[in-house]
């Protein structure tokens, strides 16, 4: 197993190199002169010229692109991500809170999503063609065709404005403290964005689980298990589901990844102070250091997802290790 993981890790190296080059190129493509941004207004022409040379050397901008690339890699590795003009503090500090919020929201969504989709997917496959199955088939077909902002706007309209059950968006007030009241308030604010993300990610996973289960249930070993006289529960959960887990585990890892990178829209609609919303705000305010830090986070997440998917694949499918 360890050998397999090491092999996977090694094969990620070219991926990391190319993605980092892409991120660096994006950073260089961004409009605006970082030196001018750092120096700010209020300098006279000759003062500015002198300060510019110093700053340019300090930021390493006077060197060649390959040198700048390695400098950037070194700084990034040390956690020096630059200065955010939007929040007026170091990027690393500016993204701490949003990152916490995004992870919190997505963890809740993933837990709920899996605990809903797995039973439904399994049931649909077992009772294939039943009313239960067709209901979820139709449901997933419709939600699959819905853009997330449409789900979000509809929920806000119905739940927040028509029935006034939950706030239409935002974050708990900072004055509320950190006690139980804070968590209640947090849950109220989190409910709608979480429901939105669950609804839009439900369809894909239910369909995938159902198909994987149907495939597993049509295998010969299921017939064998049944003819041995095993209880249906054992057949489904112990024989079929374990084998269905192999394809499911991969899709789950990737759905988590796409959930993170896709939550920008939902976060923006609900003013949930997460990294997706910060990215959109940073782009609109031309805070490009912040933008590249965000993209770095998402890219790291993408590569990690790839690795995790490979490893879980190896864990759940013993055949992989043997190859």
Partner 1 sequence: MKPLKSFFRLIKGLFVPDRSPVSALQEEALQTPAKTIVKNFLRQKLGILGVLGFIAMLMFSFVGSNLKPIDLSYVETTLRNIRPGRNYLKYPAALERDGVSNISSGVSFSIGLSEKGDVYVWGREPAYVLEGVSTSVLRVPESVRAADIVMVVAGDRHALALDSTGRLHGWGFNNFQQAEAPVQLAAKLSAKPVKQLIADEAYSAVLFEDGELYVWGSVMNNRLDSIPAAIQGRIVKVAPSAHNMALLLDDGTVAVIGIRGNPFSQVPGQLQDGSTRVVDLIASYRAVLALDDRGQLYMWGDVQYDVLAIPDFSGKIVAMDSGKNNMMLLLDTGRVIYWGGNHFNQLALPAAMSNSNVVEIYTEMFQSYAVTDTGKMFAWGNKGFVFGTDEFGRDVLTRLIHGGRISLTVGAIAVVISVFIALFIGMTSGFFGGWVDMVLMRFTDIVTSIPFLPIAITLSAVLGGRVSQTQRIYLIMVIIGVLSWTGLARLIRAQILLEREKDFVLAARALGVKQKNIIVRHILPNVFNLVIVSITLSYAGSLLTEAGLSFLGFGVSTPTPSWGNMLQGAQTSAVMQYYWWRWLIPGLFVVITALCANLIGDALREAMDPKANEK
Minimum gap (Å) between residue 320 Cβ and partner 1: 16
Minimum gap (Å) between residue 321 Cβ and partner 1: 20
* Binding footprint of partner 1, residue count (CB under 8 A): 50
**Binders in 295-314 for partner 1, by CB under 8 A:** 295, 298-299, 301-303, 305-306
Judged by beta carbon, residue 51 or residue 160, the one nearer partner 1 is 160
Q: How far apart are CA 278 and CA 276, in angstroms?
A: 5
The reply on whether position 165 binds partner 1 by CB under 8 A is no
Q: What DSSP string describes 213-248?
A: HHHHHTSHHHHHHHHTT--HHIIIIIIIHHHHHHHH
The reply on whether position 284 binds partner 1 by CB under 8 A is yes
Residue with tokens 């190199």: 17
Burial letters for 283-317: b for 16+ Cβ neighbours within 10 Å, e otherwise? eeeebbbbbbbbbbbbbeebbebbbbbbbbbbbbb
Q: How far apart are CA 213 and CA 223, in angstroms?
A: 14
Judged by beta carbon, residue 75 or residue 295, the one nearer partner 1 is 295
DSSP bridge partners of 83: 90
Would you put residue 32 in left (φ > 0), alpha (ψ -120 to 50) or beta? left
The reply on whether position 255 binds partner 1 by CB under 8 A is no
The reply on whether position 14 binds partner 1 by CB under 8 A is yes
Residue of the chain from 149, 182, 191, 312 that contacts partner 1 (CB under 8 A): 149
Minimum gap (Å) between residue 183 Cβ and partner 1: 25
The reply on whether position 171 binds partner 1 by CB under 8 A is no
Q: Is the dihedral of CA 176, 160, 195, 130 positive or negative?
A: positive
The reply on whether position 196 binds partner 1 by CB under 8 A is no
Give the closest residue to 104 by CA, choosing from 286, 285, 225, 274.
Answer: 274
**Binders in 24-83 for partner 1, by CB under 8 A:** 26, 29-31
The reply on whether position 256 binds partner 1 by CB under 8 A is no
Residue of the chain from 121, 168, 193, 314 that contacts partner 1 (CB under 8 A): 168
Cβ(140)–Cβ(206) below 8 Å: yes
Judged by beta carbon, residue 164 or residue 233, the one nearer partner 1 is 164
CA 257 to chain centroid: 4
Judged by beta carbon, residue 87 or residue 260, the one nearer partner 1 is 260
What one-character DSSP code corresponds to residue 285?
Answer: T
Positions in the binding site for partner 1 (CB under 8 A): 11, 14-15, 18-19, 22, 26, 29-31, 141-142, 144-150, 153-154, 156-157, 161, 168-169, 257-258, 260-262, 264-265, 268-269, 276, 279-280, 283-284, 291, 294-295, 298-299, 301-303, 305-306
């Amino acid at each position: 197993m360890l050998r397999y993981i090491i092999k996977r890790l090694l094969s990620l190296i070219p991926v990391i190199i190319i993605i980092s080059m892409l991120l660096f190129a994006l950073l260089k493509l961004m409009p605006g002169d970082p030196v001018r941004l750092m120096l700010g207004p209020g300098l006279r022409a000759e003062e500015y010229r002198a300060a510019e040379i110093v700053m340019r050397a300090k930021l390493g901008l006077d060197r060649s692109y390959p040198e700048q690339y390695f400098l950037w890699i070194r700084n990034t590795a040390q956690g020096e991500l630059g200065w955010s003009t939007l929040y007026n503090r170091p990027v690393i500090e500016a993204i701490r809170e949003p990152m916490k919020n995004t992870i919190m929201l997505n963890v809740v969504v993933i837990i709920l999503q899996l605990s809903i989709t797995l039973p439904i997917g399994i049931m649909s496959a077992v009772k294939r063609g039943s009313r239960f199955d067709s209901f979820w088939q139709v449901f997933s077909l419709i939600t699959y065709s819905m853009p997330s902002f449409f789900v979000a706007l509809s929920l806000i309209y119905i739940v927040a404005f028509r029935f006034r059950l939950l706030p239409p968006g935002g974050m708990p007030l900072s004055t509320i403290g950190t006690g139980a009241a804070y968590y209640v308030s947090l849950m109220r604010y989190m409910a709608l964005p979480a429901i939105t993300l669950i609804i839009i990610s439900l369809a894909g996973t239910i369909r995938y689980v159902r198909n994987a289960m149907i495939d597993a249930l049509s295998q010969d070993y299921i017939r064998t298990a049944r003819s041995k006289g095993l209880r249906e529960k054992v057949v489904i959960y112990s024989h079929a589901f374990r084998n269905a887990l192999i394809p499911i585990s991969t899709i789950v890892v990737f759905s988590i990844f796409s959930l993170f990178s896709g939550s920008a829209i939902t976060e923006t609609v609900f003013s949930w102070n997460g990294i997706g919303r910060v990215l959109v705000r940073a782009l609109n305010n031309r805070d490009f250091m912040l933008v590249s830090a965000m993209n770095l986070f998402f890219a790291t997440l993408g590569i990690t997802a790839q690795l995790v998917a490979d490893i879980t694949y190896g864990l759940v499918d013993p055949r992989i290790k043997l190859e």
